[in-house]
Each structure stands twice: as C-alpha cells, then as structure tokens.
C-alpha cells in the first residue's frame, strides 16, 4: 500500500524527512509519494481541498497521511478514517473530511498506537507516521485505535443560481494565481462560451471572457473557464488573477453574464 503525504511543513526544515524516516523504520519497503508540502501554514481548508482534488487519482488501498495541524498537542483527536477505497490518517480538524466523505466513510478510529515518546508539537512524526506505516504493513485499523462516532467535517460551499446570478465562493488559488470558485456547471445556466462574465467580489466588478481554455485568450486577458477539476475558474492568461484582483479563498462571489 503506498503512502501519500500532504503537509504544510514545506521542504526547508527536517519535518518531512523525519516522518519518512519513521515510516521506513517500521516498513522499509514502504512506497512514499509526496502530494505537496506547500499548503499555507495552518490553512486547514486549503489542505482539505488539495487532498480532495488529489486522492481519487491514486490506486485503491493508498494511505493518505495529511498533517495541517494548528491544534497539535490539544484535545483534538488523531484519526484513521477507512473509506470505500482508501485510508486517511491525520488530525480531527476537518482536514480529512472532504476527501473521506466523497469516497464514502466506512469507519473512523482514534489512533492509540504511537511512538514510545511523543512530542506535544510533532504528532506528524510521533503519531500519524507510525499509524500510516502500520497500515501499509496490512495491520487493520481496529488494532491501531478505537472506534469513534463523531468527528469534525468541513462544509463545502454549495453554489446556487438566483435570477440568472450564480452565488459562489472563491475556494482555492493555485500557484499560477488562478482562482477556483465553488461554481461548476451552474456557469452554463447563465452564459455560454464567448460571453463575458461579471464577477462581483467585495463590491468590485471583474470582467472575464468565458473561454474553453487558456490558449483562447491573449496574454494579459482576464478569462473564466471550467478547469480540470470541473470548477469555474477566474484566470489571467500568462498572468496572476489572484494578485491582480486581490482575491483569496473565502471571498463570496456573485457571477452573472455582463450586459
């Protein structure tokens, strides 16, 4: 079973290497894959969204070890979530919830297996990495923890259409500065390719041509498109929409066809 890692640790420090060292000490044959370690520090929502976007492309049986954990050392639970096809290991702060619920949760366990000495500030190394390593050896999660009935779940913002206006939210900004919105096929209820869409954010209007792909735009042109994950995205061709317009995840958006 491969182990896929997602953290906000970055690559400058030793944190990711320490986690991998623990995994390999328990299972020297473990296959470890990095999803990303560049989640913004303590940004649980972005971590959850990236995990949700990535997990489904991995083979069945993959163990996802995700650590964005501002509550480390507190009463928050360490979890193993068994879903229809995968295992998710990480803190009980909503980080695992979007991906796990989408795949179908079968059981949730509070981790009790851990290293003999546990730091209050590095559960990624001392709690989550050992659990993931034991799972990769085929050990059942019921032998690593105890079942729990309640756990924290994030709510994905559902878009709605009222009077030809899509009410949505900015949910993610990628490294190119493209701004993902929570709207999906709702865009086609108000416009078609070639139309100009008006995005209203904090009282400001951003106009974007609705296109099929980035190559249909001139350099510097603001466009809207349906991206590879199926979300309506605001982008600047060969530029950065987030910095150009000061957009960030969490902003409410009203999207309509420009008159």
Instruction: Give the gyration radius of the chain's Cα atoms.
Output: 20
**Residue 46: which residues within 8 A CB-CB, separation 6 or more?**
39, 40, 68, 172, 249
**Pairing mode of beta strands 3-7, 63-67:** parallel
pLDDT the model gives residue 20: 98
pLDDT the model gives residue 31: 98
Say which CATH topology domain 160-257 has.
Elongation Factor Tu (Ef-tu); domain 3 (2.40.30)
Picking from 137, 95, 139, the residue whose alpha carbon sits closest to that of residue 3 is 137
The domain spans of the chain are 3-147, 160-257
Contact present, 228 and 212 (Cβ < 8 Å): no
pLDDT the model gives residue 189: 87
pLDDT the model gives residue 216: 86
Q: How far is CA 114 from CA 50, 125, 132, 145, in A?
A: 26, 9, 10, 10
Q: Which residues of the chain have pLDDT under 70?
A: none
Say which CATH topology domain 3-147 has.
Rossmann fold (3.40.50)
pLDDT the model gives residue 125: 95
Contact present, 177 and 236 (Cβ < 8 Å): yes
How far apart are the C-alpha atoms of 183 and 197, rounded to whole Å?
Answer: 13
DSSP string, the chain: --EEEEES--SSSSHHHHHHHHHHHH-TT--EEEEES-SPTT-HHHHHHHHHHHGGGSPTT-EEEEE--TTTTSSPPEEEEEESS-EEEEESSSTTHHHHHHH-EEEEEEE----SS--SS-HIIIIIHHHHHHHHTT--GGGTEEE-S----PPP---EEETTEEEEEEEEE-TT--EEES-SGGGGGT--TT-EEEEEETTEEEEEEE-SSGGGS-TT-EEEEE-TTS-EEEEETTS-HHHHHT--TT-EEEEEE--
């Amino acid at each position: 079973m491969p182990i896929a890692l997602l953290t906000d640790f970055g690559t400058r420090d030793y944190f990711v290497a320490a986690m991998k060292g623990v995994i390999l000490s328990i299972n020297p044959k473990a296959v470890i894959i990095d999803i990303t370690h560049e989640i913004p520090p303590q940004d649980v929502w972005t971590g959850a969204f990236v995990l949700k976007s990535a997990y489904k492309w991995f083979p069945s049986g993959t163990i996802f070890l995700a650590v964005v954990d501002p509550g480390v050392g507190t009463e928050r639970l360490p979890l193993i979530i068994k879903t229809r096809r995968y295992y998710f290991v990480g803190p009980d702060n909503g980080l695992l919830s979007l991906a796990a619920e989408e795949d179908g949760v079968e059981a949730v366990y509070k981790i009790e297996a851990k290293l003999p000495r546990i730091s209050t500030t590095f559960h990624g190394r001392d709690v989550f990495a050992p659990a993931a390593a034991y799972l990769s050896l085929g050990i059942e999660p019921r032998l690593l923890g105890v079942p729990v009935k309640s756990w924290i779940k994030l709510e994905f913002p559902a878009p709605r259409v009222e009077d030809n206006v899509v009410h949505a939210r900015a949910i993610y900004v990628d490294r190119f500065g493209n701004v993902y919105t929570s709207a999906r096929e709702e865009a086609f209820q108000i416009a078609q390719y070639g139309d100009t869409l008006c995005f209203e954010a904090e009282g400001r209007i951003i106009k974007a041509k609705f296109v099929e792909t980035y190559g249909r735009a001139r350099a510097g042109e603001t466009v809207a498109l349906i991206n590879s994950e199926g979300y309506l995205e605001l982008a600047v061709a060969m530029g950065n929409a987030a910095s150009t317009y000061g957009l960030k995840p969490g902003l409410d958006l009203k999207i309509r066809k420009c008159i």
